[in-house]
Structure 1
């Protein structure tokens, strides 16, 4: 089994990615250029990433007293990735990009996530640079973003702090103007930052000549005090090494010091760091304080940062989906080749007869179908979101605005659903392997360990759920939810006319109605504490409904396409759809029950009772 046929179907038959070439921005491209990009990324992933997935897991990054040391395989993979041009694939020709659709870039990056998510596809570097292309000054774009897109420099995102975690309103890192002429620096208003940042992926390494940290910090008020809450949070570019306006290193280290490496359950090939800003270890001009350049307006840091966070959330969802897919392919191969047991019933009692392969057992098939439905469905969802990004950037005004709002509603699902259910797929992959799956002789235990991070980073489940029920389904008077419902209704109408899918169409219509009534019931009292007490079950039900819609739409397209090309693939997609509607969608009733009742069990149990 190979990922490529699945990608080809989703890109070309389902999302009609070729039609994007009718737009002026992508007019130079064709199916041939798209295929060439996919071919290149598939080859690099196969040659430079996959063979070293276990290597980077066992040879963890370490600090030798002067620098962070990574395996040579990581350096080789990073070099090949940079040379492919994928860091700037969707950017303008003028800055060295290929002006490819983001849909294609997301599909191509899936090869790297599946081959070795721990080596990575430089998601934070491209996200960092993309943020600067939207919110940075022309000078910041030329000096920092371009060097990141070129692969000379890497990028990070520095939000969390040891005492604050995900609570950004409690950020305590401070930024003060660097002298009376701080406004006149050509790289942007210049500040001195002091504070600590935790959980910084790729926060220190030697893969690139410089690292560009994007840092949230608070600017004190006129009394020198930090303003409580999110007011005053601003965004800064803090390079590891100081540079001039031509992007040349000045030879001066910035006052950013590695305070420690975190030793993780998975994703061990990527450094995760605690960074100290402004502690005086590397004083600049004889003074402590890390030099940072303001991005955007003071006090608007979260507004700017969410541009990067939302992009990262789609990237996290894609990574989760591909880790799940890797486990699925491994367990499918194992199930096809592992003989064990005999068929149920009288015929299976004859011990003289040969054992059957475990894929012939119904329960193993259940576990394989669950994995397929979770992982291929999640991949389809991520590519659908990527297609919305292209629509937002290149569609007409109405289509672009609809895409913007649909992305607002779907982003919490795109991050959270794959990170929960593709992790479950990895657990099932271990189960298919039996005892062997729990050993390091097979890769599925590493896939599970690597995937366990995705429910946490870029916003935990609880944060995504509160965002969905507390903000996204309500924003603009619920128009985003209405737009999504309209797209689901269109799929339902088409699927109703297909005999094999008509029952599923009716089930999706009922689920959609249930989501609407549960949303209203959750907010019936207008009390956020009551509404959000069961935000996670709401998000789980919402996500399952979205995935049911994705599968119904995929199956309808598969049956409408030329089935003679790939009968087995079409049967597989319809089978995964059947599984999801029969085994998964019915779960939403239990989840939505507590939402509709605004069940207080979890919120009101006294602490001493736990």
Structure 2
């Protein structure tokens, strides 16, 4: 079953996205318009992205001392993507958008991740950057920067990390000082001069668009000239590569933002990844050093504003990881169907006089394919479910919107981390299905693994997502988010108990959910965060498997009901049910082992003396 067939089933049969047209924001849409967007993106990805995916992996971006060069194929793909209108797909008609539901937008964007995630990754950052400014920027900032990003004139980045701080944002030292006595009267926002360094900046320097808009986290010194420690002092600034006027036109002045170097990566090579110096004096602007930046929101609220983009990016990263896994699954499935090797097992053993059989007929190869199918399709269902929550949050009735927002808070660490781990494992199995050929560059599966390995790291590592889940999400508001999620899972279990074919899975999911609840309480029994969070990653893994089991059971209920409908694609529905069964039989049992160390507050890792290593 292709990605498009799977997406259609999840969108229309499971999530019933056509019902969204009953809401005022989506009133001009229907299945026909949704399908038209999906068709356009499928074709654009096939024409502009897939054919050059291997090319951009081998022709890395390079710096000539003045500018970064990327393959012409990347330039063509970026321009075609911008011209498609997908950068503003979910935005209002008034700003050139399509007012698409988020769930349809994400399903459409998935085609590009699957076809060539290293070809057009600028789109995710640019739209996320613009969405942040639409939510937190001033009216003129939205007009000058966000709308030009949606139009594809400007591209965007995300500048958080610093070489000495990494993911510890409380330790950033980039400084922002008022630019003159009239700094508060600049129409583009209070104007500051920034000095500092930012590391791991994707698309930090290129010639794909007229301008690059950098949202930069920095600290404004206090009256004593010192930086406020921790995250309270962090503010957010728009720092364009080239200065613009209030009409969004380039003034001809280069801002003091300089490329310090390119990072050479394991995968994701089509996108330049950079170290940027802000205010080093290489491009002094308006007579002095210091990059000009415009304050977004209020001083000290930078992290709150930036989390708007970060949370959106985390779901996008999860979807990207999912689609790389899906690409590997489709490639290994095709290989397994066409690669003859070995003979069937019979009562008398293998008969060497008989012709060889395709390897898909061997049980262990089917195991590896089923694992990929269950992980990738389960992850895809989770990501689309989260996108559907975004639509509910923005357009649902007040109570429904509030619940959707809380569920999204709970699920974001899983939506980012689970596909990043298990769809990467799916890519590893895709290599294994290919055997020795999978380890060569003659087949694409090795690149999918290399590209996917980044997703456990960027936009919050696995460890950070685990600390967020166990340290914040499950205990927020006295555990209301966890209770709400449990109520949704229990509702699915109750439905499954009325379906004989799925009742056993309902019981198994109920047991796993109960174990999660007990382990959560046990982890925090002493109230000591050091003890509770020492095993946060096993907790994240167990929690994620429980969520995916719930998603699969809900999808299986839809598939089971579909079998009784005339004209149903029985093979596709049976495949969904088999993937659900595989996950419950092979993966859900791992939850108990992970939670044992959590519930016991096992101190093996916490008390390991560094000298013993």
| TM-score by shorter chain over 0.5 | yes
Separation in structure 2 between the aligned mates of residue 345 and residue 230 of structure 1, nearest angstrom = 66
What is the deviation of 1:581?
0.1
* Structure 1 residue 167 corresponds to structure 2 residue 168: yes
Deviations 1:240-289 (A, max 9, x none): 00000000000000000000000000000001000000000000111000
* Structure 1 residue 6 corresponds to structure 2 residue 6: yes
Contact 2:74 2:120 in 1 (8 A): no
Secondary structure in 1 aligned to 2:500?
Answer: coil
Secondary structure in 2 aligned to 1:565?
Answer: coil
Alignment correspondent of 1:120: 120
Contact 1:496 1:505 in 2 (8 A): yes
What is the deviation of 1:563?
6.4
Separation in structure 2 between the aligned mates of residue 350 and residue 39 of structure 1, nearest angstrom = 48
Moved more, 556-565 or 362-371: 556-565
Separation in structure 1 between the aligned mates of residue 450 and residue 595 of structure 2, nearest angstrom = 30
With normalisation by structure 2, the TM-score equals 0.99
Separation in structure 1 between the aligned mates of residue 47 and residue 171 of structure 2, nearest angstrom = 44
Alignment correspondent of 1:587: 590
Secondary structure in 2 aligned to 1:220?
Answer: coil
Contact 1:261 1:271 in 2 (8 A): yes
Alignment correspondent of 1:576: 579
Deviations 1:457-503 (A, max 9, x none): 00000000000000001111111111111111111111111111110
* Structure 1 residue 95 corresponds to structure 2 residue 95: yes
Deviations 1:434-454 (A, max 9, x none): 000000000000000000000
Separation in structure 2 between the aligned mates of residue 138 and residue 605 of structure 1, nearest angstrom = 53
Secondary structure in 1 aligned to 2:235?
Answer: strand
Deviations 1:501-531 (A, max 9, x none): 1100000011111111100000000000000
Deviations 1:56-82 (A, max 9, x none): 000000012221111111111111111
What is the deviation of 1:178?
0.4
5+ long unaligned stretches in structure 1 = none
Alignment correspondent of 1:353: 354
* Structure 1 residue 604 corresponds to structure 2 residue 599: no
- How large is the RMSD of aligned CA atoms in angstroms? 0.8
Moved more, 514-523 or 71-80: 71-80
What is the deviation of 1:348?
4.2
Moved more, 105-114 or 78-87: 78-87
* Structure 1 residue 69 corresponds to structure 2 residue 58: no
Separation in structure 2 between the aligned mates of residue 155 and residue 502 of structure 1, nearest angstrom = 49
Separation in structure 1 between the aligned mates of residue 271 and residue 324 of structure 2, nearest angstrom = 15
Moved more, 572-581 or 116-125: 116-125
* Structure 1 residue 515 corresponds to structure 2 residue 516: yes
Alignment correspondent of 1:505: 506
Separation in structure 2 between the aligned mates of residue 140 and residue 240 of structure 1, nearest angstrom = 15
Deviations 1:181-236 (A, max 9, x none): 10000000000000000000111110000000000000001100111111210000
In the TM superposition, what are the counterparts of 1:353-502 in structure 2 within 5 Å? 353-502=354-503
Alignment correspondent of 1:241: 242
Contact 1:342 1:348 in 2 (8 A): no
Secondary structure in 2 aligned to 1:158?
Answer: coil
Alignment correspondent of 1:40: 40
In the TM superposition, what are the counterparts of 1:11-22 in structure 2 within 5 Å? 11-22=11-22
Separation in structure 2 between the aligned mates of residue 555 and residue 218 of structure 1, nearest angstrom = 50
What is the deviation of 1:84?
1.0
What is the deviation of 1:536?
0.2
Separation in structure 2 between the aligned mates of residue 120 and residue 435 of structure 1, nearest angstrom = 30
Contact 1:256 1:278 in 2 (8 A): yes
Moved more, 83-92 or 348-357: 348-357
Contact 1:563 1:570 in 2 (8 A): no
Separation in structure 2 between the aligned mates of residue 226 and residue 312 of structure 1, nearest angstrom = 28
Moved more, 375-384 or 74-83: 74-83
Separation in structure 1 between the aligned mates of residue 523 and residue 372 of structure 2, nearest angstrom = 32
Contact 1:188 1:295 in 2 (8 A): yes
Secondary structure in 1 aligned to 2:370?
Answer: helix
Separation in structure 1 between the aligned mates of residue 366 and residue 129 of structure 2, nearest angstrom = 42
Alignment correspondent of 1:108: 108
Separation in structure 2 between the aligned mates of residue 133 and residue 592 of structure 1, nearest angstrom = 41
What is the deviation of 1:345?
3.9
Separation in structure 1 between the aligned mates of residue 272 and residue 313 of structure 2, nearest angstrom = 17
Secondary structure in 1 aligned to 2:271?
Answer: coil
After TM superposition, what 4+ stretches of structure 1 lie above 4 angstroms from structure 2? none
Separation in structure 1 between the aligned mates of residue 349 and residue 383 of structure 2, nearest angstrom = 43
Separation in structure 2 between the aligned mates of residue 73 and residue 17 of structure 1, nearest angstrom = 35
What is the deviation of 1:564?
3.6
Separation in structure 2 between the aligned mates of residue 473 and residue 18 of structure 1, nearest angstrom = 33
Contact 2:374 2:580 in 1 (8 A): yes
Separation in structure 2 between the aligned mates of residue 2 and residue 76 of structure 1, nearest angstrom = 27
Secondary structure in 2 aligned to 1:260?
Answer: strand
What is the deviation of 1:347?
4.6
Alignment correspondent of 2:321: 320
Alignment correspondent of 2:550: 549
What is the deviation of 1:343?
1.7
Paired residues, number: 610
In the TM superposition, what are the counterparts of 1:125-140 in structure 2 within 5 Å? 125-140=126-141
Contact 1:130 1:145 in 2 (8 A): yes
5+ long unaligned stretches in structure 2 = none
With normalisation by structure 1, the TM-score equals 0.99
Moved more, 260-269 or 473-482: 473-482
